[in-house]
Amino acid sequence: MYIAHTIAELREHLGAYRHPAFVPTMGNLHDGHIALLTRARTLGDVSVVSIFVNRLQFAPNEDFDSYPRTWQADCTRLREAGCDVLFAPKEPELYPEPQTFAVQPPSELADILEGHFRPGFFTGVCTVVMKLFACVQPRVAVFGKKDYQQLMIIRRMVSQFALPIEMVAGETERATDGLALSSRNAYLSAPERAEAVHLSQALQRIAQAVRSGHPDLAAVEAEQMQALAARGWAPDYLTARRQHDLQPLTAGDAAVVLGAARLGTTRLIDNLELRQQPA
């Protein structure tokens, strides 16, 4: 595995390839990341993974400084999984001067759900992803569905800027009890880890209400929010939305159920895609 710490090193090494397949990450890798890499290896002539903890997508009160950084373990996992190139720039390499230019996604998609509770988050995400795309110049980029809203926004960014990149979505990887794999799961204590599965279970209950054509989804969503709160969670949202734009459901829409909630000091997100609901 070739490790590039500078943009110049990366570009020189990738000059020999025509079809890079790229997986951007913030490190602290788990099986979900490795599944994305495994997919990427089938889609290009060289696989590239980046590790960069992006300050721009963290609010001042969020966990930038404490975000898990596990460099040696990450390198070992990537080598064992057959990664060809690891791009691991330091902050001054990617942001040598204040990043005063930014990619601003549309408010109707970026200021709801995650964007409502994390103002500016998607501007930070889009800006760093655009910059990483400029560095790697991939032909394929693989993102996980666990960050459903993020995937949707980046897909639209690629489309509107006419970037020559094929966007590929990887399914959410889960533990045996149903918990979505996440780098932030490392923050959970043992009792919290046992409790964490209740987020996906709450989403399953809302999904079942959608499938059955329940006449009052808002009541079901509120009930599941209250149930989590009663267990000691601080839920931000649990809601069923249209898959294609994350707006409120109407009859016949393909739906996705999304949720975010804090357990102790750890904020977890998850989602479940549903097939077309009854008209």
Calculate mean pLDDT across residues 53-80.
94
So what's the pLDDT on residue 171?
Answer: 96
Whether pLDDT at 138 is above 50: yes
5-9, 146-150, 208-212, 247-251: which range is least confident on average? 247-251
So what's the pLDDT on residue 275?
Answer: 76
* Cα 198 from Cα 192, distance rounded (Å): 10
Q: What is the mean pLDDT of the chain?
A: 96
Which one of the listed residues 5, 13, 19, 33 is annotated catalytic?
Answer: 33
pLDDT > 70: percent of the chain: 99
For the segment 196-213, what is each residue's pLDDT rounded down to a tens digit?
999 999 999 999 999 999
For the segment 220-236, what is each residue's pLDDT rounded down to a tens digit?
999 999 999 999 999 99
So what's the pLDDT on residue 278?
Answer: 45
Whether pLDDT at 276 is above 70: no
Catalytic status, residue 33: yes
**Which residues neighbour 264 within 8 Å (Cβ) at sequence distance 6 or greater?**
187, 188, 189, 192
SS3 label, residue 77 = helix
Whether pLDDT at 271 is above 80: yes
120: left (phi over 0), alpha (psi -120 to 50) or beta: left
Whether pLDDT at 277 is above 80: no
So what's the pLDDT on residue 165?
Answer: 98
- What confidence tier does 61 reach under pLDDT thresholds 50, 70, 90? confident
* Cα 93 from Cα 4, distance rounded (Å): 11
* Cα 265 from Cα 18, distance rounded (Å): 44
Q: Which residues make beta-bridge pairs with 256?
A: 241, 273
Whether pLDDT at 8 is above 80: yes
- What confidence tier does 193 reach under pLDDT thresholds 50, 70, 90? very high
Neighbours of 167 (CB within 10 A): 16
Dihedral sign computed on CA atoms, order 74, 48, 44, 272: positive
CA 234 to chain centre: 21
So what's the pLDDT on residue 279?
Answer: 47
